[in-house]
């Protein structure tokens, strides 16, 4: 019965290109139609229990069978396979890979909402699960500024390092910074953005995170740079921050807030933001309506995490007297970023296996491949939401964003990218 269910699913999912499935018995089945523009891949099942594991829970079952070496991909790697399936089922053409069945949707909605309450103890535990991994892992695939979030790829930018600097410049420009301003960085990571904002503007930045490893790294980094008096960090829950700030920035943190905490989060941000202040939220989001977090992501990658739709984000912003002054949707930028992380991890296979084990390595690749292709063929995007309390806090046209990015690039000597950066900001993201 399990093999029949898997067979039916693959017949529905694979339309172009071919997938040859080899069962544990040696029997083969072929799906799809050969096409010169599409790959021909193989999927080998190492034992008879694999079809049942996948049929019972496709998201978790496929991931765990691949992690355990019970599913082997032939003719390509896991990125090729996940892209092949997603490309056959694109979100904008009605693909339903991210839409579980009714019973699964009900189950995940209940379990997911319970996970997302993210009370203080749970928040710290969930953050530690992902961000307090062996610090050496992140050195293997991140850029030198340790930006573990979507980079920004305007025309002329080809390297991950350039793209992450472009992202930080883009954010700095939208914040309209000035010397002496007080900036709060909610979910500051390892401190690279905080240092960059101080460096390009002279603003004083205070970063907060719930990751012990990140805060320790950030403090040491600021001390080495001689800016520990201007760029400070604290192991602090956003709910405990006091005072008022001229600017608030949050990159890659809102995905960990949880739907039950959306309105309290924006209420707190409203209270922390100065009357003439500006806030910038950079978050993964969904182009489609609200949904649920899949079991693989919830169990192995981001427990308590949730990717918001724009509608439920705005539903939380509107009651809190924060005006949306600018919205930019980055459609392909994170896919490009994730593919570069994936490439770097593949080149560092031996080191990652040494630090962890082969199962972790396969899990990490599965995570990166699934995420990259969800931005390329699914409904995932990045939102950059600029929020103000006073409608006159920023200029009334967007020209100032491109002008400031061009100024920052010229000051750094990146004159070859100045025009592209300026035009990219004014025209919108690619």
> What is the pLDDT, as a whole number, of residue 95?
79
User: What is the pLDDT of the chain when averaged over all its residues?
Assistant: 91
| Structural domain harbouring 47 | 2-76
Query: Alpha-carbon torsion 109, 111, 114, 119, what sign?
Result: negative
Which CATH number do you get for residue 185? 3.40.50.150
Residue 92 lies in a domain: no
Residue 97 lies in a domain: no
Residue 359 lies in a domain: yes
The arithmetic mean of pLDDT across residues 110-133, rounded, is: 59
> What is the pLDDT, as a whole number, of residue 419?
43
Look at residues 348, 428, 335 and name the one whose alpha carbon lies nearest to residue 138.
348
What domain count does the chain have?
2
Query: Alpha-carbon torsion 46, 88, 375, 290, what sign?
Result: negative
Look at residues 205, 207, 200 and name the one whose alpha carbon lies nearest to residue 169.
200
Residue 393 lies in a domain: yes
> What is the pLDDT, as a whole number, of residue 415?
43
Residue 123 or 296, more confident: 296
Kindly give, in sequence order, each residue whose CB lies less than 8 Å from that of residue 144, ignoring residues fewer than 6 positions away: 161
> What is the pLDDT, as a whole number, of residue 421?
44
Q: Tell me: do 144 and 212 sit in the same domain.
A: yes
> What is the pLDDT, as a whole number, of residue 292?
87
> What is the pLDDT, as a whole number, of residue 131?
56
Residue 96 lies in a domain: no
Q: Tell me: do 156 and 256 sit in the same domain.
A: yes
Residue 338 lies in a domain: yes
Task: Report how far residue 339's alpha carbon sits from residue 347's, in angstroms, rounded to the nearest whole number.
Answer: 13
Question: Per-residue pLDDT for 175 more than 70?
Answer: yes
> What is the pLDDT, as a whole number, of residue 37?
96
Question: Per-residue pLDDT for 80 more than 60?
Answer: yes
Q: Tell me: do 224 and 301 sit in the same domain.
A: yes
> What is the pLDDT, as a whole number, of residue 119?
62
- DSSP assignment, residue 308? P
> What is the pLDDT, as a whole number, of residue 384?
98
Residue 382 or 108, more confident: 382
Which of 72-86, 183-197, 260-274, 292-306 is the least confident region? 292-306
Q: Tell me: do 136 and 191 sit in the same domain.
A: yes
Question: Per-residue pLDDT for 102 more than 70?
Answer: no
% of the chain residues with pLDDT over 90: 83
In this predicted model, what pLDDT tens digit does every residue of 138-164 receive, in sequence order?
Answer: 999 999 999 999 999 999 999 999 999
Kindly give, in sequence order, each residue whose CB lies less than 8 Å from that of residue 274, ignoring residues fewer than 6 positions away: 244, 245, 246, 389
Residue 340 lies in a domain: yes
> What is the pLDDT, as a whole number, of residue 179?
97
Assess contact for 248 and 280: CB atoms under 8 A: yes
| The model's pTM | 0.91
Backbone dihedral angles phi then psi of residue 340, each to the nearest 5 degrees: -70, -40
% of the chain residues with pLDDT over 70: 88
Look at residues 108, 100, 98, 104 and name the one whose alpha carbon lies nearest to residue 288.
98
Q: Tell me: do 69 and 180 sit in the same domain.
A: no
Q: Tell me: do 71 and 180 sit in the same domain.
A: no
The arithmetic mean of pLDDT across residues 323-352, rounded, is: 98
């Amino acid at each position: 019965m399990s093999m029949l269910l898997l067979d039916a699913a693959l017949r529905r999912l694979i339309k172009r290109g071919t997938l040859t499935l080899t069962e544990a018995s040696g029997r083969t089945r072929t799906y799809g139609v050969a096409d010169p523009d599409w790959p021909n891949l193989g999927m080998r099942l190492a034992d008879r229990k694999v079809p049942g594991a996948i049929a019972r829970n496709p998201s978790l079952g496929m991931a765990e069978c691949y992690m355990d070496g019970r599913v082997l991909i032939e003719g390509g790697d896991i990125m090729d396979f996940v892209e092949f399936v997603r490309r056959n089922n694109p979100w904008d053409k009605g693909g339903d890979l991210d839409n579980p069945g009714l019973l699964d949707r009900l189950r995940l909605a209940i379990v997911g909402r319970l996970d997302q309450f993210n009370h203080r103890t749970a928040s710290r535990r969930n953050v530690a699960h992902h961000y307090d991994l062996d610090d050496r892992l992140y050195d293997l695939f991140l850029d030198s500024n340790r930006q573990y979030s979507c980079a920004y790829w305007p025309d002329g930018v080809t390297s991950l390092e350039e793209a992450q600097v472009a992202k930080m410049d883009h954010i700095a420009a939208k914040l309209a910074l000035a010397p002496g301003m007080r900036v709060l960085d909610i979910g500051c990571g390892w401190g690279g953005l905080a240092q960059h904002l101080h460096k390009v503007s002279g603003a004083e930045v205070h970063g907060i995170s719930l990751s012990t490893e990140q805060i320790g790294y950030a403090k040491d980094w600021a001390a080495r740079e001689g800016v520990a008096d201007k760029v400070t960090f604290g192991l602090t829950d956003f709910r405990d921050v006091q005072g008022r700030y001229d600017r608030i920035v949050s990159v890659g943190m809102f995905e960990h807030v949880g739907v039950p905490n959306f309105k309290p989060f924006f209420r707190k941000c409203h209270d922390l933001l100065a009357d003439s202040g500006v806030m910038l939220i950079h978050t993964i989001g969904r182009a489609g309506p609200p949904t649920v977090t899949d079991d693989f992501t919830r169990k192995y990658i981001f427990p308590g995490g949730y990717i918001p739709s724009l509608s439920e984000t705005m539903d939380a912003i509107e009651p809190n007297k924060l005006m949306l002054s600018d919205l930019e949707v980055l459609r392909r930028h994170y896919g490009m970023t994730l593919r570069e992380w994936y490439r770097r991890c593949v080149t560092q296979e031996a080191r990652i296996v040494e630090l962890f084990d082969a199962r972790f390595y396969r899990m990490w690749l599965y995570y990166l491949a699934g995420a990259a292709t969800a931005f390329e063929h699914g409904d995932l995007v990045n939102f950059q939401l600029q929020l103000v309390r006073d409608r006159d806090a920023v200029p009334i046209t967007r020209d100032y964003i491109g002008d400031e990015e061009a100024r920052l690039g010229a000051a750094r000597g990146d004159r070859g990218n100045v025009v592209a950066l300026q035009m990219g900001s004014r025209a919108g993201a690619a």
